[in-house]
């Protein structure tokens, strides 16, 4: 299954990304800073951009069968 993950560099996103890759999903991520991706297995597609940019989001969604949105505030609520 092909999935896109938004928020893959955050706390929940890192865990979710690792689990998706372990399960054999073909993963695309849209991140502002690719260097913040966790070490280990890498997503098949890493797109650098911002989720507030409709073109970047559209490119990330192209060809996907599912989407996980794990965006947060970056603060402990």
Q: Is the pTM of this model over 0.85?
A: yes
Q: What whole-number distance in Å separates Cα of residue 73 and Cα of residue 60?
A: 21
Is residue 16 within 8 Å of residue 32, measured between CB atoms? no
Q: What is the pLDDT of residues 11-52, one digit of tens each?
A: 999 999 999 999 999 999 999 999 999 998 999 999 999 999
pLDDT surpasses 70 at 59: yes
Q: Give residue 77's pLDDT.
A: 56
Is residue 71 within 8 Å of residue 8, measured between CB atoms? no
What totals of helices (H) and strands (E) does the chain contain, helices first?
Answer: 2, 4
Q: What whole-number distance in Å separates Cα of residue 34 and Cα of residue 54?
A: 19
The structure tokens 């965006």 sit at: 71
Q: What whole-number distance in Å separates Cα of residue 17 and Cα of residue 7?
A: 9
């Amino acid at each position: 299954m092909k999935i896109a993950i938004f928020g893959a560099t955050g706390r929940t996103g890192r865990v979710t990304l690792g689990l998706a890759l372990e399960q054999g999903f073909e993963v695309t991520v849209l991140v502002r800073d690719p260097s913040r991706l966790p070490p280990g297995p890498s997503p098949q597609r890493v797109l650098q951009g911002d989720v507030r940019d409709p073109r970047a989001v559209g490119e990330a969604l192209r060809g996907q069968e599912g989407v996980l949105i794990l965006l947060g505030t970056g603060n402990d609520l």
